[in-house]
Amino acid sequence: MNLFFRLFLLSCVLLVSVFANEPTNKVTLQLKWFSSFQFAGYYMALEKGFYKEAGLDVRILERNAQKNNIMQVVNGEATYGVADSALLLYRADGKPVKVMASIFQHSPLIFIAHKESNVFSPYELKGKRVSYQQGIDDAPLLAMIHEVGIKESDYTYVPLDFSSQAFIDRKVDVMSGYLSDQPFLMAEKHIPITIINPLNYGIDFYGDNLFATDQELSSNPERAKRFLQASIRGWHYALEHEDEAIAVLRSKYGARNSVEHLKHEAEVTRNMMVPTLVDIGYTNTERFYRIGEIYRTLGKVNQSDMDRALKDFIWNPNEKQKVDVRYLYAALAMLLLIIIFTLLLAITKRKLQSMVARKTKALVEQQSMTDKYVIIISVDLKNNVTEASTAFCNLFGYTKLELMGKKIETVYNLDTSSSFYKEIMSQLEKHKKWSGELKNSDKQKNVYWLFANIEAIFDEAGIVKGYRAIQQNITDKKFAQKLSITDTLTELYNRSYLNTKLHAEVNLFHRYNTPMGLIMIDIDYFKDVNDTYGHLVGDSVLVEFAEILRVNVRLTDIVGRWGGEEFVIICPSNTLNQVAELAEKLRVLVESYTFNTVGKKTASFGVGTIHNSEDEMELIRRIDDALYEAKRLGRNRVVKA
């Protein structure tokens, strides 16, 4: 054992010599705007020495309005940068940028309009002078405009002047800004404005992504990882010590705004980051697939370029990287440690052999039970089935002979062109595993749900040769969940679920002052349908009416059957004008629709938004009164509460 002890000491000495006195790395962070609480996490990581502890000498650069801040990183003027989801477009265009972390889970980018210009939504942008950063910080805004059918040719584009002066001087009608900044600035200057937020139109992009080039992340992965960890540590400190961060920003880093303005910015920043719900810096691949689809719909990129851009767009700091030459001695030291443990393991070999012998019989018996009861399927790299358990065959209705060599997508009935399938394959390529729910049908077309855990199968050389899925049948659970929240006739949400969601939205309003609208709808003279044609025809009218609502509400709306011929739509983050506009759109669609057997029908609508002192029961009572008034005035109309 004396030899072992000497080898261990030598290994420790080598490790210490490699990692001690690591030289400080000089790096630069390029911001997308000027010093403000929007970047407090980076400034506090610098101020509190978190970067220094990570062996980094960091310089933070404010935005230069004459330069493209993304290209400054691409061109090597900065090591890291902060930018919005437009990074995806740059990668699709061949620029080697990659997201390290998404600091803002929601983009704070908005439009503000002069109140007297009568611009209350993107619909009124036609003929107006509109100012924003074209091609750099415009993605959520253009997606919102496109969503409502407005083309870029419908308004006059004016380049952003970065000072808001053109907007203040009335030289532009509408200007892009940040929810944390420009609205407060206009309030200080007593300029009345209207805010148009893409989030209210179902457009939810990431904001303030930390990014770097492929070259930086592949050549200096440890440096990038230390920079990311120190930055997130800085964000935690800034959010927990808000007053200190504001004081430091003003005294040392040139923040020009007042203390009150920075406090407002800190509150909005916290809301955009939602740190109590999501880890700071968390990035979801599916969100970028949705963002990529919006870019493609806007005509900003073709499908093949977007697919290429999405591959490896999000950096995984824990993936295997090239070995750095500097750590050669560390590798040798580790080799010595391995030798020590190998010798120790040799001593216990005989004991292990006897243990293996005892376990072998149990494993054989366990394998037999697994084959019988566990749903397992394996495929090669060409998606051909190579193995299937008895339990799998029993569930799908195939014999093992039928399954061998069959394409897995035909067994699972998967659409290989869908984003869902591509997301599964992307996760398997990156992480060699995926888990989630799959909806399938068996050989007789019976529908069921599985929860699948898919992992790579490796050959003796450590190369992936296929994938194995171990699954659990959750059909009964999914069916029970659906029954608990769904109206059985229309398949819309039922009253119980609507009450739950309405209670949650009212709580959000009272906590964060988030607007919320409500629409109550009643099919006119529906009793006549039941009396004339019978209840079966009446039910078919309800199903057709429900489908009109389902396909014509917005992504963020919650639509359900309240009872009888009455329906409800909950509209989160919507103003009175917006819910009235949606109700009028639905009224016209119903009026123009021809129902099977009964022909034309109309509907009456009561609409309104939550008031400060109301609970959900008071809100429902007020909207119901508006619906009654619509019917009293002659039906087929929208009445605001």
Per residue in 189-232, pLDDT (tens digit) is: 899 999 998 888 778 788 899 999 999 999 999 999 999 999 99
239-245 contacts: CB < 8 A, separation 24 or more? 239/40, 239/41, 239/266, 239/270, 239/273, 239/275, 241/44, 242/266, 245/37, 245/40, 245/43, 245/44
Give the percent of the chain with pLDDT over 70. Answer: 87
Residues 187 and 260 in one domain: no
For the chain, what is the domain count? 4
Residues 234 and 186 in one domain: no
Structural domain ending residue among the three candidates 447, 479, 511: 479
pLDDT of 322: 45
φ, ψ of residue 109 to 5 degrees: the values are: -70, 130
* Pairing outcome for strands 594-595 and 599-600: antiparallel
pLDDT of 478: 66
Q: Is 344 inside a domain boundary?
A: no
Structural domain ending residue among the three candidates 147, 172, 201: 201
Residues 44 and 173 in one domain: no
Query: Binning pLDDT at 50, 70 and 90, where does residue 72 land?
Result: very high
Residues 541 and 635 in one domain: yes
pLDDT of 102: 93
Digit-coded pLDDT (tens) for 449-505 = 888 889 999 988 889 999 999 888 887 666 655 666 889 899 999 998 899 899 989
Q: In the predicted model, what is the mean pLDDT of residues 358-371?
A: 59
Q: Is 73 inside a domain boundary?
A: yes
Digit-coded pLDDT (tens) for 548-605 = 999 999 888 999 999 999 999 999 988 999 999 999 999 999 999 999 889 999 999 9
pLDDT of 18: 46
pLDDT at 19 over 50: no
Q: Is 331 inside a domain boundary?
A: no
Give the percent of the chain with pLDDT over 90. Answer: 48
Residues 387 and 406 in one domain: yes
Residues 494 and 475 in one domain: no
pLDDT of 613: 85
Query: Binning pLDDT at 50, 70 and 90, where does residue 375 land?
Result: confident
Digit-coded pLDDT (tens) for 580-593 = 999 999 999 999 99
pLDDT of 249: 94
Residues 412 and 490 in one domain: no
Which amino acid, one-letter code, is at 232? Answer: I
Q: In the predicted model, what is the mean pLDDT of residues 30-37?
A: 92
Taking the mean position of all CA atoms in its chain, how far away is CA 313? 14
Measuring CA to CA, which residue among 26, 298, 282 is closest to residue 140? Answer: 298
Digit-coded pLDDT (tens) for 296-324 = 877 888 988 988 998 889 998 876 544 44
613 phi-psi bin (left φ>0, alpha ψ -120 to 50, beta other)? alpha
pLDDT of 449: 83
What CATH number is attached to the domain comprising 227?
3.40.190.10
Q: In the predicted model, what is the mean pLDDT of residues 248-254?
A: 92
Residues 148 and 215 in one domain: no
* Burial track 383-407 (b if 16+ CB lie within 10 A, e otherwise): bebbbbbbbbbebbebeeeebeeee
Q: Is 341 inside a domain boundary?
A: no
What CATH number is attached to the domain comprising 533?
3.30.70.270
Q: Is 65 inside a domain boundary?
A: yes
Q: Is 330 inside a domain boundary?
A: no
Residues 210 and 195 in one domain: no
What CATH number is attached to the domain comprising 414?
3.30.450.20
Structural domain ending residue among the three candidates 166, 201, 236: 201
Residues 605 and 496 in one domain: yes
pLDDT at 124 over 80: yes
For residue 518, give Cα distances in angstroms to 487, 554, 558.
19, 13, 10
Q: Is 188 inside a domain boundary?
A: yes
Q: Is 338 inside a domain boundary?
A: no
Instruction: Let me know: does 110 contact 178? Beta carbons within 8 Å.
Output: yes
Q: Which residue range is the domain that position 507 belongs to? A: 486-640
Maximum separation of any 2 CA atoms in the chain, in Å: 100
pLDDT at 46 over 90: yes
Residues 395 and 543 in one domain: no
pLDDT of 73: 96
Residues 494 and 608 in one domain: yes
Mean per-residue pLDDT over the chain, rounded: 86
